[in-house]
Structure 1
Amino acid sequence: MSITIASGMRLTPARLNRLAPKVARKTASQVVNNSATFVNDTALSVPVEANALYKAHLYIVQNSNTTADFKYQFSAPAGTTLTNWTFMSGNTANWTTIIAPLGGVTGVNGIGADSPLNAWGIVAIGASGGSFTVQWAQNTPNVSDTTVKAGSFLELLRFA
């Protein structure tokens, strides 16, 4: 994204802020126990502008056992589309490698230890702004803790 500054135009904080990445970072771990119902992550949510394109990077360190596993998806304003998403995990037993439509579920098999995952892609926001939020849960309800660890982050960089 480039900025054109015409003669006499003021470079305001609002114009500069549009160039800064939107970053949400977890400062405390969050636990789900015995539930396959998606919950909004308590920290991994960023505001998005209407009709904007963002390059996104999600980094999560999760810990889930081999029965519960781990799944995630995104919640976003109506009309949002996700394209060209790639997924990589420290756990090689991935379920899927591409996220296509908004509401598409991706996850990894639990290994009972901390396991990082990364996802990258393009987020195209529709006619309404709002929040872009990570949602996650156990894939199979299990009386054990599934945790998204502190230090996980979501970053969006607007490019159009």
Structure 2
Amino acid sequence: MATTTTRWSLRKPAAGDTISPTLDLGGPYDTIDANLGTYVCTSATRPGSPIQGQTIYETDTRREYIWSGSVWLPRGPLVAVKTTDKTANASTTLSDDPQLSLPVLASTTYLLSALLIWSTGTGPDAKFGLTVPAGCTWQVAPFGIPTSVTATAGSIETAVFTASGIPLGGVAAGTKTAALVTGTVVVGGTAGTVTISWAQNTSNASNTVLYTGSSLQLTRV
């Protein structure tokens, strides 16, 4: 009686069985061809019945994942980079930046690194935070100029923050400055996304801009 292989369920005829071109040759060859090496798909067309250790490449996200046996794990760090400038004015309400958002797994710890490139006047300054899944905790140090500094050279904010609304200084509208934010994100029992949010620190009619090239990186520990 024919049996099947453990991983791909390829048919193995028993001694004395008649070989079927469709069952024993055509079908298995198609399965091997589709799954050998890295499987190319999109985030919406991942394999329905993956095997442990299978790797995929998503053409829409440009990310690689490996199947652990129960969940798709990213290979290497996850990275998001802004491709357009975003402007805020006359508001201190934190707003999520959809271009600086990454998916996270439940019960997982990540190292966070973010490069924020912005310009703002000394009146409005800027502030940022993280939007995270329920039950998630985080701590970061901004490593950018504080609101008390009005030049690109000066003190750097190294305090550790655990809640959104982290203030950052500005030099002048249109004058770029940057912060290299580092920290950790501990995801609880709920998966979801980690997203950079930002706004003016003091409401002002002048523009505060977060620029193309700003980035967010998460590395699973």
Range class of TM-score, shorter chain = 0.7 to 0.9
Q: Which residue of 1 aligns with 2:143?
A: 88
Correspondence 1:40 to 2:96: yes
**Identity across aligned pairs (percent)?**
28
CA displacement, residues 87-140 of structure 1 (integer Å, 9 cap, x when unaligned): 21264355x523332x34212121111001011111100100001001100011
Across the two proteins, how many residue pairs are aligned to each other? 149
Who wins on radius of gyration, i.e. which is larger? 2
Whether the 8 Å contact between 1:19 and 1:158 is mirrored in structure 2 is no
DSSP 3-state at the match of 2:88:
strand
Deviation (angstroms), 1:42: 2.8
Q: Does 1:98 align with 2:154?
A: no
Cα distance in 1, alignment partners of residues 128 and 164 from structure 2: 9
TM-superposed deviation, 1:10 = 4.7
Off by >4 Å, runs of 4+ in structure 1: none
* Greater strand proportion: 1
* Consecutive unaligned residues in structure 2, runs of 5 or more: 1-6, 8-50, 56-64, 68-72, 146-151
Structure 2 CA distance for aligned equivalents of residues 27 and 68 of structure 1: 24
The 3-state SS of whatever aligns with 2:111 is: strand
AA at the equivalent of 1:88:
F
Letter in structure 1 aligned against 2:109: L
Which residue number corresponds to residue 51 of structure 1?
Answer: 107
Greater RCO, CA 8 A, separation 6+: 1
After superposition, give the CA deviation of every residue in 1:23-52 in whole Å (9 maximum; x if it has no partner): 110000000011111111131110110001
Q: Cα RMSD (Å) of the superposition?
A: 1.9
1:144 and 2:206 correspond: yes
CA contact (8 A) 1:82 1:99 kept: no
| TM-score normalised according to structure 1 size | 0.85
**Structure 1: gaps of 5 or more residues:** 1-7
Amino acid at match of 2:92: A
Q: Does 1:107 align with 2:185?
A: no
